[in-house]
Amino acid sequence: MSRILIIEDEQSIAELERDYLEISGYVVDIEISGDKGLQRALTTDYDLIILDLMLPKVDGFEICRRIRSEKDIPIVMVSAKKEDIDKIRGLGLGADDYIIKPFSPSEMVARVKAHLARYERLMGRRETKNDEVRIRGLMIDKTARRVFVNEKEVVFTTKEFDLLTHLAMNPNRVYSKEQLFDLLWGMDAMGEIATVTVHIRKLREKIEQDPSNPQYIETIWGAGYRFRI
């Protein structure tokens, strides 16, 4: 369940917000002073913070600035101040939303849900990593179809990339020329099995420090090729 912190000095408003959020399935904590709210926000993991603007000891603007400098979570600022300058300042400091009091608790819950969903989507995209194969100084980015040798990008044709990726994904396994041809060119493809030898040579020229003494793609005489790890 998502955990929410309410920093609000009006106890009755804070409790009303908490009740509506808990009914919607959220875990909610309340702090009624700015200094304690800031400390709790920085030391406890929350998924969203509802932040009043006018607070004793530390105001909402400073709390928002401090939280945003250390954490990337949704901040919904609430205030009785209707002036555009306050709204602009709050959003400029990193608040994700600005709600003017009085407001409907159901509206607040709807906004909370929307911001949590948006952040989950954003974080999901940030956490998505490309599918990579790393073997010693070789890095194959399968998602972007890019290859780096000792951190320097090397350009491959489509078939070269497919052949290298297949071998690297199946290390220490010996493939005959016929098997590689069938796998990558297809049994019905027009061409000669000798094209496998040509592509192996090109791969070695691009990834091996010394193509005549390969460290990645080995020739197993009488059997085929093997990617060694």
In this structure, what CATH number is given to the domain that contains residue 95? Answer: 3.40.50.2300
Residue 211 and residue 152 share a domain: yes
Q: Give which of 162, 196, 160 is closest to 178, Cα–Cα.
A: 196
Q: Binning pLDDT at 50, 70 and 90, where does residue 120 land?
A: confident
- Please say which residue of 106, 123, 140 terminates a domain: 123
Region of poorest pLDDT, from 32-41, 103-112, 196-205: 103-112
Residue 137 and residue 97 share a domain: no
Residue 112 and residue 16 share a domain: yes
Q: What is the C-alpha to C-alpha distance for residues 41 and 48, in angstroms, rounded to an integer?
A: 10
Range of the domain at 168: 132-227
pLDDT score recorded for residue 124? 67
Model confidence at 189: pLDDT above 60:
no
- Please say which residue of 101, 123, 145 terminates a domain: 123
pLDDT score recorded for residue 36? 95
Q: What value does the mean pLDDT of the chain take?
A: 89
Location of structure tokens 């940030």? 126
Residue 7 and residue 110 share a domain: yes
In sequence order, the 6+-apart residues with CB closer than 8 A to the CB of 113 are 24
Q: Binning pLDDT at 50, 70 and 90, where does residue 86 land?
A: confident
pLDDT score recorded for residue 66? 92
| Other Cβ atoms closer than 10 A to 63 | 26
Residue 103 and residue 70 share a domain: yes
- Please say which residue of 100, 123, 146 terminates a domain: 123
Residue 138 and residue 87 share a domain: no
Q: How many domains does the chain have?
A: 2
pLDDT score recorded for residue 80? 84
What are the tens digits of pLDDT across the range 22-38? Answer: 999 999 999 999 999 99
Residue 206 and residue 117 share a domain: no
Model confidence at 15: pLDDT above 90:
yes
Residue 17 and residue 76 share a domain: yes
Region of poorest pLDDT, from 74-88, 155-169, 186-200: 186-200
CATH label of the domain that carries residue 200: 1.10.10.10
Q: Give which of 28, 16, 84, 90 is closest to 59, Cα–Cα.
A: 90
Residue 139 and residue 72 share a domain: no
Q: What is the C-alpha to C-alpha distance for residues 67 and 119, in angstroms, rounded to an integer?
A: 16
Residue 115 and residue 7 share a domain: yes
Residue 95 and residue 140 share a domain: no
